Structure 1
Amino acid sequence: DKLVYLALGELRPPFDRLEFNLADKLIVRALGVGWEEYQRVGDLGELAEKITNHKFSNSQMTVSEVYEQLVRIAKDSGSGSQERKVRGVATLIKQMDPISAKYIVRMVAGKLRLGFSDKTVIDALSYLENGNKEYSEMLDRAYQKRPDVGVLAQMVKEWGAEKAAEKIDVVIGTPIVPALAQRLKTPREMIAKMGRVYVEKKWDGTRVQIHFSRGQVRTFTRNLDESSAMFPELTKIADQVNADEVILDSEAVGYDPKTGKLVPFQLTITRKRKHGVVEAQSSVPLRFFVFDIMYLDGKSLIHLPLQKRREILVKTVSKGDVLVVDEHIETDDPDVLREYHKKQLEAGLEGALVKQIDGEYMPGRTGFNWVKFKESEDSRAKLADTIDAVIMGYYLGKGKRSDFT
């Protein structure tokens, strides 16, 4: 697992980030050169390679030892931690050969750029098993349930691809890759492809995956980043949850504390912040519209049909001010679907979400299990997510991008 994380330029999976938080100037100090030299070279890694005097290191450090030393540097905190990190990086680099120094420094700077991704590692694990991509799809499905390629690599090495994919399952505290909706243009197409469906309101909020266990609540974004500190409301949901452990999928929407009316997305999104959270909560409190349940008291529910998951959800989440079980209608009539969608647009919502009544919870944008119906039935339907933007600033390129003008 450590080798995999290092190859990706990380110390932990994205949902459990551990970062060095060292500015370029501090890394240059660790290398013992002037800022002008860095500006001339344009890349911290190449600078480290250039100034490392020995072609081969005498160090007998293993990958695990290098990893553990990097973790210690990243974890250092408190008074004087920046100086200790600088010394730690300098000490480590002195033990490395030029190529190793190049990539370690890039990793510390957060600019490894090997071109690897989690998908690359999954393909590599398939090749490890039988020399081709035969197992990639199966391993990717396992990864979607527990998106930690370090754990996946460990289990494939120990058990083999097939058994590892069978053993990996949903775990409380580790985000599931969220289910995403496809697009179809008309209600008639939707019913023809999906059959009988549940239709829900499409809220104009922010996606929040809630991991609740007695004594702790963690939340994750649709990109799998942890966002727990942003939503103090969720520390008060114990009375609403009839379970010891549960994973819920929801959309958080802000509301006016005086009128109770939902506010525009532009106000809701002001809650996604690291500082001033309490003040923001007072001005824009949130309701979490819960529309799915993926895990309950030690058991994964993602393979159950939506209808069954909905029944469990209603029993698990009680009425309250913070969590609200999302309402839905059931239909196989395109006209009913069209009318429901129209009402949501008139109410100021984004439209409707259409879900197969017997569909599993399928992480990622897979098939036509979920479909979003946002625009009116015209040629604009596939352009609903475009934006107008003004470029306010930019950064000069570094490394391979240093010649960009």
Structure 2
Amino acid sequence: MRLADIARASRDIGAASARTEKVALLAELFRAADPADAPVVIMYMAGRLPQRRIGVGWSSLKERREPAAEPRLGVREVDALLTRIAAVSGKGERKRLLDELMGAATEEEQLFLVRLISGELRQGALDAVAVEGLASAAGAPVADVRQAVMLSGSPAAVAEVLLAEGPSALGRFRLTVGRPVLPMLAHTAKNVGEALARTGPCALEEKLDGIRIQVHRDGDDVRVFTRTLADITDRTPEVVSLVRTLPVRQVVLDGELLAFDERGRPRPFQETSGRTGSTLDVVGAQTAVPLSPVFFEVLYVDGEDLLAVPASERRALLDRLVPEAQRVRRLVVADPTAPEERAAAEAFASEALERGQEGVVVKSLDAAYSAGRRGTSWLKVKPVHTLDLVVLGAEWGHGRRTGTLSNLHLGARAADGSFAMLGKTFKGLTDALLAWQTERLRKLVVTEEPWGVTVRPELVVEIAFDGVQRSTRYPAGVTLRFARVVRYRDDKLPADADTVESVTALLP
């Protein structure tokens, strides 16, 4: 497939307002694609590079190159060039390769590539929409394609097989030990009472302030993955040693990785993050701090896939396999309408906070494990509201902050794939974090203004706030009250950020 076909489709999809029209355009594109091109095509249409980052900044991209008169670039040729650009270390060679690529592209192709590489491709073709288009092109049920993507961890792998072999090939995508799946996620509830009313019979579990991990064991081979499916096995020997002692041959576990102090309370998130290769070690991560896994789900045991098994049964099996010290604390609420059980739930949530945890997660006892989905059968309750937002820009500081990028412009994910600004904040920044933030944002600059910079939407930051209120000042019609920075979440991608919909749901 030619790059010109993708650039044209991207333009048409961006101009389409209805989701059904976007899906139809994507389906047409996928039908025309060679199966071998499909992994790259679906990534591009979701606005992402297979290489993730290639070391090219905005200053290089904005340089004018004479466009080619006729389209001649193929998709795989472009992908190979971008892989070469990502692999080189010298700026001169990287620029030469970028010039080679851009010089072979037409004006429309250049525009597409600039937006794709800079992370500014806003065409409304999110992963979910791209998956629907893929399903339509292959004549496969959307739910089956979505499940295959969740279990493979990548729409690219599913696209190639599905377009080459048809819907029957989806059956090969199963939970496989050693291949991580996208984790199940939770929606937000305002308080414990609301969560109990929405879930019915449930269990409350402590919401831990650590790094989400998924652990796969096959015999003596143990692999540890993050929520973004990065392999951190070599940085977590404690986890490997513990899981090897469990009375199973094969197992897949879901949990959190934390550092605890001498009182058994969780240490700051940055210390855990530093041990697992975080870029935030500048703010005080200690590489010597020991880590402890705490598990709350078992997804697979000795040949049996447990994803569809009710949560109560999965937990009973987890209790038999994992020592109590490595299992999350929980409280079962069989009848949420009973006053005594509601009181016990409120008390459990208060005790979790006293032990230094973030809050609780309320989980339906009947829930299956929906890999990669943010379902209402899991509801998180935290006393201090926080959101994971994307940094869209920053303003130069004043006074003692002169020379630093201080006041952050914060955005939530919109339905069309863009990020809608919700407000600004400069609160909660330590001197060390301010310095790190300035250095990092300078590498992501898209435009420079007298007041500050706009940046590629790559950094996810956790923001605490006191409430949500309506506002005509911002495009989503809402803003945050008393927003302040909690921490940067380098374990999350922009696609993991909270949505405008989830923010507006918090309006009183």
TM-score between the two structures when normalised by the length of structure 2: 0.59
Report deviation, 1:151. Answer: 1.9
Asked if the contact 1:245–1:297 (Cα under 8 Å) also holds between the matched residues in 2, the reply is yes
State the partner residue of 2:15: none
Between the aligned partners of 2:52 and 2:426, the Cα distance in structure 1 is 32
State the partner residue of 2:104: 95
Distance 1:348 1:69, change over 3 A: closer
Asked if the contact 1:255–1:261 (Cα under 8 Å) also holds between the matched residues in 2, the reply is yes
Asked if the contact 1:317–1:325 (Cα under 8 Å) also holds between the matched residues in 2, the reply is yes
Asked if the contact 2:204–2:330 (Cα under 8 Å) also holds between the matched residues in 1, the reply is yes
Single out whichever of 225-234 and 175-184 deviates more from structure 2: 225-234
Q: Name stretches of at least 5 consecutive residues in structure 1 with no aligned partner.
A: 29-42, 376-382
Report deviation, 1:293. Answer: 1.4
Report deviation, 1:142. Answer: 3.7
Report deviation, 1:303. Answer: 0.9
Where do residues 367-378 of structure 1 align in structure 2 (5 Å cutoff)? Answer: 367=376, 369-375=377-383
Report deviation, 1:204. Answer: 2.8
* Equivalent in 388, 392, 398 of residue 446 of structure 2: 398
* Equivalent in 43, 54, 70 of residue 56 of structure 1: 70
Runs of 4+ in structure 1 off by over 6 angstroms are 275-279, 394-397, 399-405
* Equivalent in 301, 308, 311 of residue 306 of structure 1: 311
Summarize deviations over 1:304-323 as a string: whole Å, max 9, x none: 1122222332344357xxx8
Distance 1:24 1:259, change over 3 A: same
* Equivalent in 120, 126, 129 of residue 120 of structure 1: 129
Between the aligned partners of 1:182 and 1:112, the Cα distance in structure 2 is 27
Report deviation, 1:365. Answer: 2.1
Between the aligned partners of 1:113 and 1:94, the Cα distance in structure 2 is 24
Asked if the contact 2:352–2:359 (Cα under 8 Å) also holds between the matched residues in 1, the reply is yes
**2:446 is aligned with what amino acid?**
K
Distance 1:68 1:299, change over 3 A: farther
Where do residues 21-100 of structure 1 align in structure 2 (5 Å cutoff)? Answer: 21-24=55-58, 27=60, 43-44=62-63, 47-48=64-65, 51-52=66-67, 54-57=68-71, 59=72, 62-76=74-88, 82-100=91-109
Where do residues 214-233 of structure 1 align in structure 2 (5 Å cutoff)? Answer: 214-221=220-227, 223-224=228-229, 231-233=236-238
Summarize deviations over 1:321-361 as a string: whole Å, max 9, x none: xx812233333232332332232233333333222223211
State the partner residue of 2:34: none
The structure, 1 or 2, with the larger RCO (C-alpha pairs under 8 Å, 6+ apart) is 1
Report deviation, 1:114. Answer: 4.4
Report the 3-state secondary structure (helix = DSSP H, G, I; strand = E; otherwise coil) of the residue aligned with 2:356. coil
Where do residues 193-208 of structure 1 align in structure 2 (5 Å cutoff)? Answer: 193-208=198-213
Matched, 1:19 2:53: yes
Report the 3-state secondary structure (helix = DSSP H, G, I; strand = E; otherwise coil) of the residue aligned with 2:366. coil
Report the 3-state secondary structure (helix = DSSP H, G, I; strand = E; otherwise coil) of the residue aligned with 1:237. helix
Distance 1:84 1:307, change over 3 A: same
Distance 1:262 1:94, change over 3 A: closer
Q: Name stretches of at least 5 consecutive residues in structure 2 with no aligned partner.
A: 1-38, 335-340, 389-424, 455-508
Distance 1:87 1:402, change over 3 A: farther
Matched, 1:385 2:433: no
Matched, 1:291 2:296: yes
Greater radius of gyration (CA)? 1
Report deviation, 1:287. Answer: 1.4
Asked if the contact 2:187–2:379 (Cα under 8 Å) also holds between the matched residues in 1, the reply is yes
Between the aligned partners of 1:227 and 1:345, the Cα distance in structure 2 is 29
Asked if the contact 1:9–1:112 (Cα under 8 Å) also holds between the matched residues in 2, the reply is yes
How many corresponding residue pairs? Answer: 358
Distance 1:266 1:153, change over 3 A: closer
State the partner residue of 1:38: none
State the partner residue of 1:7: 45
Asked if the contact 1:255–1:287 (Cα under 8 Å) also holds between the matched residues in 2, the reply is yes
Summarize deviations over 1:7-42 as a string: whole Å, max 9, x none: 345443xxxx553223455x46xxxxxxxxxxxxxx
State the partner residue of 1:32: none
Identity %: 23
Distance 1:338 1:232, change over 3 A: same
Summarize deviations over 1:32-71 as a string: whole Å, max 9, x none: xxxxxxxxxxx35xx23xx22x4115x5x53223323332
Distance 1:81 1:231, change over 3 A: farther
Asked if the contact 2:266–2:356 (Cα under 8 Å) also holds between the matched residues in 1, the reply is no
Distance 1:183 1:72, change over 3 A: closer
Asked if the contact 1:198–1:355 (Cα under 8 Å) also holds between the matched residues in 2, the reply is yes
* Equivalent in 132, 150, 162 of residue 156 of structure 2: 150
Distance 1:362 1:109, change over 3 A: closer
Asked if the contact 2:185–2:375 (Cα under 8 Å) also holds between the matched residues in 1, the reply is yes
Between the aligned partners of 2:203 and 2:169, the Cα distance in structure 1 is 34
Between the aligned partners of 2:90 and 2:178, the Cα distance in structure 1 is 29
Distance 1:273 1:55, change over 3 A: same
TM-score between the two structures when normalised by the length of structure 1: 0.71
Report deviation, 1:124. Answer: 1.4
Report the 3-state secondary structure (helix = DSSP H, G, I; strand = E; otherwise coil) of the residue aligned with 1:154. helix
Greater share of residues in strand:
2
Distance 1:105 1:204, change over 3 A: closer
Between the aligned partners of 1:260 and 1:339, the Cα distance in structure 2 is 20
Asked if the contact 2:204–2:362 (Cα under 8 Å) also holds between the matched residues in 1, the reply is yes
Between the aligned partners of 2:301 and 2:96, the Cα distance in structure 1 is 47
Greater share of residues in helix:
1
Where do residues 102-251 of structure 1 align in structure 2 (5 Å cutoff)? Answer: 102-129=111-138, 135-161=141-167, 163=168, 165-184=170-189, 190-213=195-218, 214-221=220-227, 223-224=228-229, 231-251=236-256
Between the aligned partners of 2:85 and 2:189, the Cα distance in structure 1 is 50
Q: CA RMSD in A?
A: 4.0
Asked if the contact 1:22–1:82 (Cα under 8 Å) also holds between the matched residues in 2, the reply is no
State the partner residue of 2:332: 330
